[in-house]
Amino acid sequence: MAKRDASAFDEAAATRDAKKLKVAELRAALEAAGADSKGLKAELVERLVAAARDGSAEVPPAAPSPPPSAKKAKSPAKPKPDGQKIEIVRLDSKGAIQETLEAPQSYSDARAEFGKLRHSTTLDDGGSLELRVGGVAKLSTQDEKKKKTKTKKAKAPAGPIPRSACPRTSVEGKKLALLSVNVAGLRALLDPAKDAARRDALQKLVQDEKPDVLCLNEHKLQESHVDAMKEELASLLPDYPVSLQHFTCSTAKKGYSGVAMLIRRGGVAEGADVTAGYETTDEIVKTEGRLLTLKAPGLPTIVATYVPNSGQKLDRLQYRCETWDRGLASYVKGLGNTIVIGDLNCCHLPEDIHNMYTRPNFAEMRAGDVPVEEQYKGLSGPAKQAGLTVEERKSFSKLLADADLVDAFRTKHPEALGVFSYYSQRVVANRGMNRGLRLDYVLASPSLKLADAFILSTDDAWPFADHSPVGAVFQLD
């Protein structure tokens, strides 16, 4: 498609037209343009308008609303089979049947004709009437039913999950500081026409942490965008010049995935060699821009990665567990001392999943006394959610063992509770109630000198995204 003249593009009209589209229509338009079609409607609208602005997509007209349909005519009631015949039975005071009366073969009509009787209506002579269906007396009258119904106590809503204090460690001497941030679209974050709050938050975060290596996940750039974004980042973060920025982009799908490494000028990683992917036949590793590797003399190897999500329908679950995790473990095992950092898209332990905190055996889960398969009893939803499945959590444990890695945050804060790195944007209340998931990690070879590991508060450090920044500091000899 020919590149659009930006001066002739009516963004307000495009936005208005895009908002009229249904989610399915938005996704179809994005897929036709080869762009990411996942997310909430607001994200899809923004993504489609951006694609229309640069000429890679068109905003299709919304389908006309169908006229209000007439109410569907109620079909006549089907006659009841003999086994469900409705009858009125007169009983004497001893419960013996005295008379059986035909009732209309519609339950509602029978009630209208004979009154609101269900089980037994007492008569003046001490006998009673019963309404029977298929020879079986129905339950009590409405009044009797109310008396028999136990009053249910209203269940108090669950309160917020407390977040453990995880004090930071000040590290003196030679050190390697790492920080990873899921930016959920770098162009939108750096766009000067948008609210500058996210740009300011990123700038302050990097100034405060001063990472030697800053890893950006899910930047969603096409290769044609990289040069301009490098300039924007260098202007916002002057300690990370263009020459020390490294990007890998998805070539399989536009506006999708992507990882970047920014190296601090004057830091211990300056002059490092950075490469994308690794030697493999796996097409996802080769084409989706999900992994960068940094190597420098005197430093452990650093692998920044954005692990594939298993998908809403778990269509990538088998690939994630049997191919991606096994390939990454094999690759890391051959690198020597290594640090793996990024959005790993899995909740490893029960305390990484907010739903587990209300389980009656949560303490036993944390102690390792409940197999992963049994942790979901009575809690079917999370077991079918990407990143929370039994298969992914067990695969994550195998990855740690096969690659000889430890979870830096759990190593530093083994008793921490309520410390999550992701909050769903679909359930807005979850963030305020601290009901999240831990999907972002720093994994490291156990022989490295881990000095600090952290998951920053989303509200304080990075309040405009669904992921929290994570990082670690290692003491160097």
Residues 472 and 440 sit within 8 Å (Cβ to Cβ): no
Half-sphere exposure of 467 (CA within 13 A, CB side): 23
Give the sign of the dihedral formed by CA 46, CA 48, CA 52, CA 56. Answer: positive
CA 315 to mean position of chain CA atoms: 15
Q: End-to-end CA distance of the chain, in Å?
A: 55
Residue 67 has pLDDT above 80, yes or no: no
The answer to whether 300 touches 337, Cβ cutoff 8 Å, is yes
Give CA angle at 219 (419, 424), nearest 5°: 35
Query: Binding residue per annotation — 452?
Result: no
Residue 14's H or E segment, with its range, is: helix 11-20
CB 239 within 8 A of CB 254: no
| 143 annotated as a binding-site residue | no
Where are the chain's structural domains?
6-53, 82-142, 175-475
**What is the reported pLDDT for 98?**
78
Which position has the token pair 């601290």?
Answer: 434
Local confidence band at 201 (pLDDT 50, 70, 90 cut-offs): very high
Please give the Cα distance from 260 to 180 (Å, whole number).
10
Gyration radius of the chain's alpha carbons? 31
- Chain position carrying tokens 């005197």: 298
Q: Which residues contact 63 (CB under 8 A, 6 or more apart)?
A: 22, 25
State how far the alpha carbon of 143 is from the alpha carbons of 25, 72, 111, 440, in Å. 52, 34, 15, 57
pLDDT at 203 over 60: yes
Q: Which helix (H) or strand (E) holds 446?
A: none
Q: Which of 256, 278, 306, 441 is catalytic?
A: 306
On whether 130 is known to bind a ligand per the annotation, the reply is no
| Residue 420 CA: distances (Å) to CA of 8, 161, 349, 415, 463 | 45, 10, 12, 14, 14
Residue 471 has pLDDT above 70, yes or no: yes
More confident residue, 472 or 89: 472
The rounded distance, in Å, linking the Cα atoms of 423 and 425 is: 6
Residue 225 annotated as binding?
A: no
Distance between CA 436 and CA 357 in Å, rounded? 11
Per-residue pLDDT of 266-286, as tens digits, reads 999 999 999 999 999 999 999
pLDDT at residue 355 in the model:
94
Residues whose CB is less than 8 angstroms from the CB of residue 407 and which lie 6 or more positions away in sequence, other chains included: 348, 400, 441, 442, 443
Strand residues in 163-235 grouped as ranges (E): 175-182, 213-217
Whole-number Å distance between alpha carbons of 477 and 388: 38
Active site residue: 17, 36, 343, 352, which one?
Answer: 343
pLDDT number for residue 155 = 55
Do 16 and 63 contact (CB within 8 A), yes or no? Answer: no
Out of 3.40.630.30, 3.40.50.2300, 3.60.10.10, 3.30.70.260, the CATH code matching 175-475 is: 3.60.10.10
- Cα–Cα distance list, 233 to 22, 72, 306 (Å): 35, 59, 20
pLDDT of 9: 78
Span 317-330, pLDDT tens digits: 999 999 999 999 99
Element (H, E) at 175: strand 175-182
Q: Which of 325, 3, 51 is nearest to 185 (CA)?
A: 51
Active site residue 278: no
- Per the CB < 8 A criterion, the answer to whether 259 and 253 are in contact is no
Which tens digit of pLDDT belongs to each residue from 9-21?
A: 788 888 888 888 8
**How far is CA 294 from each of CA 110, 212, 213, 241, 341, rounded to the nearest angstrom?**
80, 12, 9, 17, 11
Indicate if 143 belongs to the active site. Answer: no
How many whole angstroms separate alpha carbon 379 and alpha carbon 402?
A: 30
Is 348 within any annotated ligand binding site? Answer: no
The pLDDT of 192-198, averaged and rounded, is 85
Q: Is 376 a catalytic residue?
A: no
Of the pLDDT bands very low, low, confident and very high (cuts 50, 70, 90), residue 409 is very high
